[in-house]
């Protein structure tokens, strides 16, 4: 009898232990007070939160043991976990965007100041050095700087064509000024233009400027564009929503421990990594092209130095122009003789004055350089930061787990593994979509990549190709035209709009005056603005310029940095619309002075990447 009683007592004790472990109602239910406190702190109502654990058959995401969560609580916490992860992703993206934006503004400011300083040096020195030769052609020089500025900004201009047209126009004007006693009709000036390449009236300056400016401007603008594209890719990828399977997995990772009454159990590190590697599988596929882009940007900075580098060339344009005019004056008599030999004796202008006295040779004071080491410091900082963010996409799951998810620091058998406290056994998956085929936490369809991210991968590839072409001195937009051209950029391969613009230069009106960019001639010969115009909105990607640019003054007189017309790509316009910053009807005007006319279609900015 005693043995039977003792056996019964042992049986009851064992049953009690099992019931307690399983949360049996026969045992004393655990309190949900800690869960109630956490749930209420997140702003949810406590009216439906149970005081003690209840049966969990209603749960759809968390394990269906005894629980402190109702169906409504589980849904609320699932939505909250998704929102918190999306917020963490946006925060990480904003930090990266801010760094890229700072770099972009710094380099853009520096490059624009170089060009603006060169134009100011020209405006200060040329009137005294060249007198009427400059005064009567000041507009041509301003137009050149405007087009150089537009080209740097990404406008659809062929730089070699632009320079060739400038020299052709300048030669016609200066030759007429140097020979006011002669009648020089259009056909005679056409003959002069055809012989210009052989005569080299400006010496070697045009050729040297063309070769150096092409490489320098292509390098500068492609580097700044690269920063803009990188920032734009980060912004667009941050807007990609999390999928439903990811949302379920994140809820299980973050809040199911609360529902099971163990809110103090923090996620196991490897468990968290598997969840986020599955959620961010598409983002990790950006890694290869992201690295290629950043490597190409670091490489292109090699073109910023030396006599043909960005700083020397962009900041010294006026010096090449001065050298060209000096050469023309020095060789004036020889040039005139050769022109007469090739084109015949022009008629004498009976009402014209006598031959102009030989102009004095221009002497320019050294240009004001930026503070010593400015570009070197910018490049050094940029290289370090670009290298730091190379593994951004594949390190993102680990970064979010360690910084945002409050991972367990306890021993492996005390962390939350998705089912209970205990060791997490599955191995950590690799990076990228293809490696998630056996992800134990997130069901990922590796046959359906995210299309938005695939588009951004293509954008990275395109920009990398531009940078690599720029490193070799080629502008990818006009590479075929340059290959077909004769060295001056005027071969058959130039685009129709530019060829048409070049041919129209032969009209007499183009020799009389150079109209502002975007101002068209009416049938009566007076300037008339195009039908529509928009203000000179500025920026690469989503980053506004901080330079000295401003709308053209109402008088029509440009100053260094004066720009007109739209310089936005399709993607930039869409971004402005998204931010609500696109001008409404009736609000289209400049901030200062009169509104700038819209650029002629041939000068409008061509999106440097597909929208």
Query: Looking at the predicted structure, is the pLDDT value of residue 138 above 90?
Result: yes
**Residue 441 CA, distance from chain mean position:** 36
Query: Looking at the predicted structure, is the pLDDT value of residue 137 above 60?
Result: yes
Domain ranges for the chain, please list them. Answer: 100-247+269-353+371-435
Alpha carbons 326 and 331: distance in angstroms, whole number: 9
- Tell me the per-residue pLDDT of 386-408, one tens digit each, with 9 for 90 and over: 999 999 999 999 999 988 876 76
Query: Looking at the predicted structure, is the pLDDT value of residue 301 above 90?
Result: yes
- Tell me the per-residue pLDDT of 220-250, one tens digit each, with 9 for 90 and over: 999 999 999 999 999 999 999 999 999 999 9
Query: Looking at the predicted structure, is the pLDDT value of residue 462 above 90?
Result: yes
- Tell me the per-residue pLDDT of 260-292, one tens digit each, with 9 for 90 and over: 888 888 899 999 999 999 999 999 999 999 999
Query: Looking at the predicted structure, is the pLDDT value of residue 84 above 80?
Result: yes
Cβ of 274: how many Cβ atoms within 10 Å?
26
- Tell me the per-residue pLDDT of 52-77, one tens digit each, with 9 for 90 and over: 888 888 988 998 888 899 999 999 99
Alpha carbons 71 and 50: distance in angstroms, whole number: 12
Q: Are 83 and 98 in contact (CB under 8 A)?
A: no
- Tell me the per-residue pLDDT of 344-362, one tens digit each, with 9 for 90 and over: 888 887 666 655 555 455 5
The reported pLDDT for the residue numbered 206 is 93
Burial (CB < 10 A; 0-12, 13-18, 19+), residue 307, is exposed
Burial (CB < 10 A; 0-12, 13-18, 19+), residue 408, is buried
Query: Looking at the predicted structure, is the pLDDT value of residue 295 above 50?
Result: yes
- Tell me the per-residue pLDDT of 551-595, one tens digit each, with 9 for 90 and over: 444 344 444 444 433 344 444 444 444 444 433 333 333 333 333
Q: How confident is the model at residue 523 (pLDDT cuts 50, 70, 90)?
A: very low
Alpha carbons 567 and 322: distance in angstroms, whole number: 30
Q: Kind and range of the H or E element at 144?
A: helix 138-153
The reported pLDDT for the residue numbered 119 is 94
The reported pLDDT for the residue numbered 33 is 86
Q: Are 271 and 435 in contact (CB under 8 A)?
A: no
Mean pLDDT computed over 368-391:
84
Any alpha helices (H) in 301-429, and if so which ranges? 310-314, 317-330, 332-343, 374-388, 392-404
Q: How confident is the model at residue 46 (pLDDT cuts 50, 70, 90)?
A: confident
The reported pLDDT for the residue numbered 408 is 63
The reported pLDDT for the residue numbered 537 is 29
The reported pLDDT for the residue numbered 544 is 36
The reported pLDDT for the residue numbered 53 is 86
Q: How confident is the model at residue 449 (pLDDT cuts 50, 70, 90)?
A: very high
Query: Looking at the predicted structure, is the pLDDT value of residue 412 above 90?
Result: no
Mean pLDDT of the chain: 76
The reported pLDDT for the residue numbered 352 is 61
Q: Kind and range of the H or E element at 528?
A: strand 527-528
The percentage of residues in the chain with a pLDDT greater than 90, rounded to a whole number, is: 44
Q: Are 187 and 511 in contact (CB under 8 A)?
A: no
Q: How confident is the model at residue 411 (pLDDT cuts 50, 70, 90)?
A: low
The percentage of residues in the chain with a pLDDT greater than 70, rounded to a whole number, is: 68
The reported pLDDT for the residue numbered 570 is 44
24: its two tokens = 């049996």
């Amino acid at each position: 009898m005693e043995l039977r009683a003792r056996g019964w007592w042992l049986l009851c004790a064992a049953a009690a232990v099992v019931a307690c472990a399983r949360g049996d109602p026969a045992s004393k239910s655990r309190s949900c007070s800690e869960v109630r406190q956490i749930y209420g702190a997140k702003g949810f109502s406590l009216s439906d939160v149970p005081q003690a654990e209840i049966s969990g058959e209603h749960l759809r995401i968390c394990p269906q043991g005894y629980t402190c969560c109702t169906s409504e609580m589980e849904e609320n916490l699932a939505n909250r976990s998704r929102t918190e992860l999306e917020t963490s992703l946006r925060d990480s993206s904003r930090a990266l965007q801010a760094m890229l934006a700072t770099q972009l503004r710094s380099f853009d400011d520096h490059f624009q100041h170089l060009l603006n300083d060169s134009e100011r040096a020209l405006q200060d020195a040329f009137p005294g050095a060249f007198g009427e030769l400059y005064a009567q052609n000041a507009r041509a020089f301003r137009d050149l700087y405007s087009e150089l500025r537009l080209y740097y900004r990404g406008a659809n201009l062929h730089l070699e064509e632009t320079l060739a047209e400038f020299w052709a126009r300048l030669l016609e004007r200066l030759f007429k000024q140097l020979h006011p006693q002669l009648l020089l009709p259009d056909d005679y000036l056409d003959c002069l233009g055809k012989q210009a390449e052989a005569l080299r009236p400006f010496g070697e300056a045009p050729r040297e400027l063309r070769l150096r400016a092409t490489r320098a401007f292509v390098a500068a603008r492609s580097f700044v564009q690269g920063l803009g594209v990188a920032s734009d890719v980060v912004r667009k990828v941050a807007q990609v929503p999390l999928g439903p399977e990811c949302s379920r997995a994140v809820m299980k990772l973050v809040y199911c421990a609360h529902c099971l009454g163990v809110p103090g159990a923090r996620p196991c590190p490897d468990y968290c990594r598997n969840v986020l590697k599955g959620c961010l599988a598409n983002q990790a596929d950006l890694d290869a092209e992201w690295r290629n882009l950043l490597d190409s940007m670091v490489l292109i900075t090699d073109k910023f130095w030396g006599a043909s580098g960005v700083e020397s060339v962009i900041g010294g344009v006026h010096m090449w122009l001065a050298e060209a005019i000096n050469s023309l004056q020095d060789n004036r008599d020889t040039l005139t003789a050769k022109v007469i030999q090739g084109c015949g004796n022009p008629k004498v202008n009976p009402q014209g004055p006598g031959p102009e006295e030989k102009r004095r040779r221009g002497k320019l004071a050294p240009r004001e350089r930026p503070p010593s080491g400015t570009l070197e410091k910018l490049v050094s900082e940029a290289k370090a930061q670009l290298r730091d963010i190379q593994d951004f996409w594949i390190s993102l799951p680990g970064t979010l787990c360690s910084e945002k998810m409050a991972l367990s620091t306890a021993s492996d058998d005390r962390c939350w593994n998705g089912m209970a406290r205990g060791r997490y056994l599955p191995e950590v998956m690799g990076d990228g979509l293809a490696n998630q085929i056996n992800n134990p936490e997130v069901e990922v369809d590796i046959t359906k990549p995210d299309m938005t991210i695939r588009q951004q991968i293509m954008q990275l590839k395109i920009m990398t190709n531009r940078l690599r072409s720029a490193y070799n001195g080629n502008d990818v937009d006009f590479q075929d035209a340059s290959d077909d051209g004769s060295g001056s950029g005027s071969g058959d391969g130039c685009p129709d709009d530019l060829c048409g613009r070049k041919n129209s230069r032969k009209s007499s009106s183009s020799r009389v005056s150079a109209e502002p960019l975007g101002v068209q001639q009416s049938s009566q010969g007076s300037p008339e603005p195009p039908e529509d115009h928009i203000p000179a909105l500025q920026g690469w990607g989503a980053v506004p310029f901080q330079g000295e640019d401003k709308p053209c003054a109402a008088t029509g007189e440009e100053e260094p940095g004066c720009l007109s017309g739209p310089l936005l790509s399709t993607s930039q316009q869409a971004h402005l619309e998204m931010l609500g910053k696109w001008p409404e009807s009736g609000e289209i005007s400049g901030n200062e002075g009169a509104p700038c006319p819209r650029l002629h279609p041939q000068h409008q900015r061509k999106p440097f990447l597909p929208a």
